[in-house]
Amino acid sequence: MDNARAIKAAQSLLDSLKQGAIIDGLPENCRPQSRDEGYQIQSHFEDEDPRIGWKIAATSTAGQQHIGIDGPIAGRLTENMVFAEDDIVPFGPNRMAVAEAEFVFQFAHVLTPRASAYSQDEVMAAVGGLYLGIELPDSRYSDFAIVGAPHLIADNACAYQFVWGPEAPDDWQSVDLAAHKVFATVQNEAGISHHEGIGANVLGDPKKALCWLVNEITSLGITIDAGEIVTTGTCVVPMPIAKGDRVVADFGVLGSVTCQLG
């Protein structure tokens, strides 16, 4: 795909994002035909909004079924989509309307593109800390479950809003994240709904998901910088939410993260 068509496709998606609108699909002459073309379009999401990290979508069977694909895809986290715990997160025109409890890694060292894949040990050696997060995904497509992986990648892997929560205690590396249980609640005037998940829902292990992300992104010729974060996918089945809800994700000994929707 030539860059002019990639920019045109990205602009269509970005305009929809800014306006809170939806589209049935991209203009016919700039629809991605492969994952690489999807990432080419996606790269323009950071032209006006700096990248601070990455997200992984569809790391669980439930997440894959939710958006109609059979494996994970990567997206960019940018400054304007990230919120702190004490922020009121505007619910806005979010049609996907789910919340996801996620492990979030921050890199302390740069990971550059190379010919051979990074091992999980190499990736974890570059990690500086573990954080807790809640992702609120959404799509610009009117029917995101049928468009397929290249189009969802172009749509920034359904990135919309993200709450970056507290850092886990320093001894987090002694915790088996795959076996670690996560409890979440969605609270509103009607009551409290309870949800339970486990780290193994994230590609078998959040560390494995992180390694997948590194190799996916560096294979595109992109350097992952020190300080960038990666939110690795939901540990719980995506939780239905609405305006005014309060979402709490409890990671036990690792801490908890809260999101208030306005």
The pLDDT, as a whole number, for residue 63 is 78
Token readout for 251 is 């990671």
Q: Does domain 49-261 have CATH number 3.90.850.10?
A: yes
Q: Is the dihedral of CA 63, 50, 132, 186 positive or negative?
A: negative
Q: What is the distance, to the nearest Å, from the Cα of residue 26 to the centroid of all Cα atoms in its chain?
A: 22
Q: Which residues pair with 249 in a beta bridge?
A: 184, 257
The pLDDT, as a whole number, for residue 108 is 98
The pLDDT, as a whole number, for residue 182 is 98
For every one of its 262 residues, what pLDDT tens digit does the chain have, with 9 covering 90 and above? 999 999 999 999 999 999 999 999 999 999 999 999 999 999 999 998 999 999 999 887 777 888 888 889 999 999 999 999 999 999 999 999 999 999 999 999 999 999 999 999 999 999 999 999 999 999 999 999 899 999 999 999 999 999 999 999 999 999 999 999 999 999 999 999 999 999 999 999 999 999 999 999 999 999 999 999 999 999 999 999 999 999 999 999 999 999 999 9
Confirm if 132 and 54 have CB atoms less than 8 A apart: no
* 64 vs 60: CA distance, rounded Å: 6
Strands (E), the chain: 51-57, 73-78, 82-83, 88-89, 98-107, 127-136, 161-167, 181-188, 191-198, 229-234, 239-240, 246-250, 256-261
Sketch the domain layout of the chain as residue ranges.
49-261
Q: Which residues pair with 130 in a beta bridge?
A: 105
The pLDDT, as a whole number, for residue 158 is 96
The pLDDT, as a whole number, for residue 112 is 98
The pLDDT, as a whole number, for residue 130 is 98
